[in-house]
Structure 1
């Protein structure tokens, strides 16, 4: 079966994927590498450089795999199609061709968030953890679960976080995805508060009773969905 590579988003390292561990079918090869600057990985000299990012991730993002990018991870994985050999398939989880959308998170909202981050990064990251969980069936329980996974250790440095916000504001993968060298799958939680309604409606797979973090609220359906994509992507 084709390997699955799971890539986390802004402010969350690879520990976020742990709830899926007990739901994978046998024989599926799943890896959860951290981005540079997250977990124990050293940050890039220039955290905003996609070329450097591609070089750093080339051993994990191999062409025989399905890349699964959640949130900012999806935005970055799509951008790396210009820098790395194409995977079997690309899965965008909770992400469209760009982050900001007139019916979703506006550029004004994101700019305000960036200003708040510049003032107090720790408080802003804590706020973001709660903000992205609004669409889950039980946001408080999801937050307890997220805190249990990540604890008080942010697992990421400020320069990498700041670069990620710049990428959320500026990256537009519309042209890349329109001429994608591989199949692209879109998965969305039906109540994802960070996606516009049209983005949720146009997803290839919509997860019921889930928001932006289905790995917390719906790990079994998400694992089954990803395993099926890996299966159909196997030559």
Structure 2
């Protein structure tokens, strides 16, 4: 697994979302490296990380991350990366000093008892389109992430450029990542997390509804929840300085 470590200071692990790679963090990392040692993870089959069948099996993935990354680090995960980071907090609690879930949901797809997530029919339609046309589906996903942002064209441009800078993710890795989003239920991990935890939400996120805040707090009353106004699913691209401020306030409190 490819991990790029840069900067000086306390260890900060950054885990990207579905279909992207660690380069997507660049606007935010340029600010964070002044204060932290940033460890930028490429998930299996994404960016510069190789893909092998079974790499997204949760126990396998977490074991590789635990082996490659420092203990007592702060973990920052975006979307799918937030779920990975939350799972680390459950299975390797000594590895996390603090946990930050950015535009992320412990249960990505709705169930009867978890309505604060993506509708199953929307997810299924999106998932089916990946097999038909991967390139078009990735572009559609970029549009979804930019929707609701105060500068959607900027978000589309930066995400598209980041996607183009690396080889496209392995098709099997994309399918495996979608399977994780469809099936992972990490609500018990959130309920039992034993390190300080923050969820950063975006007001106009079309993938993670604001109603998540209420449901998440019922699971974990000690949560810190911050809502960034006027932004979509990738707030760290639209407003990296504002996002840095929200992150560092939590880290230093």
**What is residue 234 of structure 2 aligned with on the other side?**
213
* Cα distance, 1:215 vs structure 2: 1.5
Among residues 64, 79, 83, which one is paired with 2:72 in the alignment? 64
Gaps of at least 5 residues in structure 1 are none
Among residues 148, 153, 163, which one is paired with 1:140 in the alignment? 153
In the TM superposition, what are the counterparts of 1:125-164 in structure 2 within 5 Å?
A: 125-151=138-164, 153-164=166-177
Among residues 243, 247, 250, which one is paired with 1:222 in the alignment? 243
Among residues 192, 198, 202, which one is paired with 2:211 in the alignment? 198
> What do you get for the CA RMSD once the two structures are aligned?
2.0
**What is residue 90 of structure 1 aligned with on the other side?**
99
* Cα distance, 1:186 vs structure 2: 0.4
Post-superposition CA distance 1:41-77 (Å, at most 9, x none): 1123303311110122124443311111100111122
- Larger strand percent: 2
208-217 or 101-110: which moved more? 101-110
User: Structure 2-normalised TM-score?
Assistant: 0.84
Post-superposition CA distance 1:89-120 (Å, at most 9, x none): 11111012211233541111111111111222
Say if 2:39 is the partner of 1:34: no
* SS in structure 2 of the partner of residue 197 of structure 1: coil
Gaps of at least 5 residues in structure 2 are 1-8, 218-223
Post-superposition CA distance 1:215-235 (Å, at most 9, x none): 110100111222233323xxx
Give the number of aligned pairs: 232
186-195 or 150-159: which moved more? 150-159
User: Structure 1-normalised TM-score?
Assistant: 0.90
Contact 2:139 2:160 in 1 (8 A): no
4+ runs deviating over 6 angstroms:
none
* Greater relative contact order, per chain length (Cα 8 Å cut-off, separation 6+): 1
